[in-house]
Amino acid sequence: MSERKIVLEAAQKLYRLKLVAGTSGNISMRSLSQPDSRFFITASGMAYDTMGEEDIVEIDQAGAPLNPAQRPSSEWRMHLEIYRKYPQVNAIVHTHSPFATGFAVCQEKIPLILIEMKPFLGGDVPVAPFAPAGSQELADGLIPYLKDRNACLLANHGVVCCGKNMDDAFIVGEYVEDAAKIYYYAKTAGTPVILE
Ligand SMILES: [Zn+2]
């Protein structure tokens, strides 16, 4: 499958599963032929349900679109910074999923409460400090939080999920939201017991 098709299908699934609202969130992957210098990312401010393969933007290491008529997601900087610092990451899914983003707004991490969090997420889900969306400051600030983790929350913003391929990155996004939802219910029901 082409990179454009992989990114498009993941983006539309993200919208269908309500892990994003409106045109928020974005998805990217490394080029299969030029993994160190070319990336495919969803377009800026475009509706997911009418997005086509041709709307997925191929960018270089500086974030410049190969087709100058296209505009990549305004949050391309954090994607490139993650690819630069973590060579094992080949796909990134950025969600604004509601339960996880609720904890991001409280700037409260999601602790290790479920057994699948360890293998899929690397453990708990930490919170990277607030910085304006799309800024280099945000991109630089989240990097340490992805060390030994496949996901982190972005304070007052959303979730960044990484994987060795798109399927893995997507599952990370689903498990972060599931853990956030269960943690929320557990806190409502009583006192959650945190695993080691
Ligand atoms: Zn965002």
CATH of the domain at 166: 3.40.225.10
How high is the pLDDT of residue 23? 87
Instruction: Please state, in angstroms and rounded to a whole number, the distance separating the CA atoms of residues 187 and 181.
Output: 10
Q: How far is the CA of 96 from the centre of ligand 1 (A)?
A: 6
Specify if 196 maps to a domain.
no
Instruction: Please state, in angstroms and rounded to a whole number, the distance separating the CA atoms of residues 86 and 89.
Output: 6
For 89-102, the pLDDT digits (tens) are 999 999 999 999 99
**Catalytic residue set:** 75
Specify if 195 maps to a domain.
no
How high is the pLDDT of residue 116? 95
DSSP at 58 = E
Helices 166-189 and 3-16: crossing angle in degrees, nearest 10, is 20
Q: How far is the CA of 133 from the centre of ligand 1 (A)?
A: 6
Q: How far is the CA of 88 from the centre of ligand 1 (A)?
A: 22
The model's pTM is: 0.97
How high is the pLDDT of residue 78? 97
Q: How far is the CA of 159 from the centre of ligand 1 (A)?
A: 8
Q: What residues are neighbours of ligand 1 (ion), with CB under 5 Å?
A: 158
Mean pLDDT computed over 115-135: 97
Specify if 118 maps to a domain.
yes
For 7-24, the pLDDT digits (tens) are 999 999 999 999 998 888
User: What's the structural domain count of the chain?
Assistant: 1
User: What distance separates the 2 farthest-apart alpha carbons in the chain?
Assistant: 54
Specify if 194 maps to a domain.
no
What are the distances in angstroms from CA 141 to CA 105, 133, 136?
17, 12, 8
Token output for 85? 């610092």
Strands (E), 91-196: 91-95, 127-128, 151-154, 158-163
DSSP at 121 = H
For 51-83, the pLDDT digits (tens) are 999 999 999 999 999 999 999 999 999 999 999
> Which range marks the domain in which residue 8 is found?
3-189
Residue 29: which H helix or E strand, with range? strand 26-30
Q: How far is the CA of 158 from the centre of ligand 1 (A)?
A: 6
Instruction: Please state, in angstroms and rounded to a whole number, the distance separating the CA atoms of residues 50 and 55.
Output: 10
